[in-house]
A = this chain, B = another copy of it.
Amino acid sequence: MEEKMFLYWGSGSLPCWRVMIALEEKGFGGYPNKLIEFSKEEHKTEEIIKLNPRGQVPTFRDGDIVVNESNAICQYLETRYKNHGTRLIPDDPKEMAAVLQKMYESSNIQENIVSGVVYYQWRNKLEERDEKVFEERLQKARDELSRWEKHLEQCKTGFIANTTAFSMADVYFYPYVAQMDRFRMDLLKYPNIKAYYERLKNHPSFVSTYPPHWKDTEKPDLLSRI
Contact = CB atoms under 8 A, between A and B. Distances in A.
A205 interface: no
A71 B45 CA distance: 31
Given A80-B93, A80-B96, A96-B80, A101 B147 contact: no
A72 B75 CA distance: 11
A54 B112 CA distance: 13
A101 B67 CA distance: 6
Nearest to A144: B54
Contacts of A223: none
Nearest to A100: B72
- Tally of this chain's copies: 2
A99 to B, nearest CB: 9
A69 B106 CA distance: 10
Contact of A65 (B68, B69, B80, B93): B93
Contacts of A89: 79
| Chain A at the B interface: SS class | helix
Interface size class of A (residues with CB under 8 A): 20 to 34
Most buried by B among A64, A65, A68, A75: A75
Interface in A33-48: none
Nearest to A99: B72
A101 B72 CA distance: 5
A103 interface: yes
Given A53-B147, A71-B71, A79 B96 contact: yes
Given A71-B71, A79-B89, A147-B53, A66 B104 contact: no
A102 to B, nearest CB: 8
Interface in A53-105: 53-54, 62, 64-73, 75-76, 79-80, 89, 93-94, 96-97, 100-101, 103-105
Contacts of A54: 105, 108, 147
Contacts of A53: 147
Contacts of A80: 93, 96
B147 A68 contact: no
A101 B62 CA distance: 13
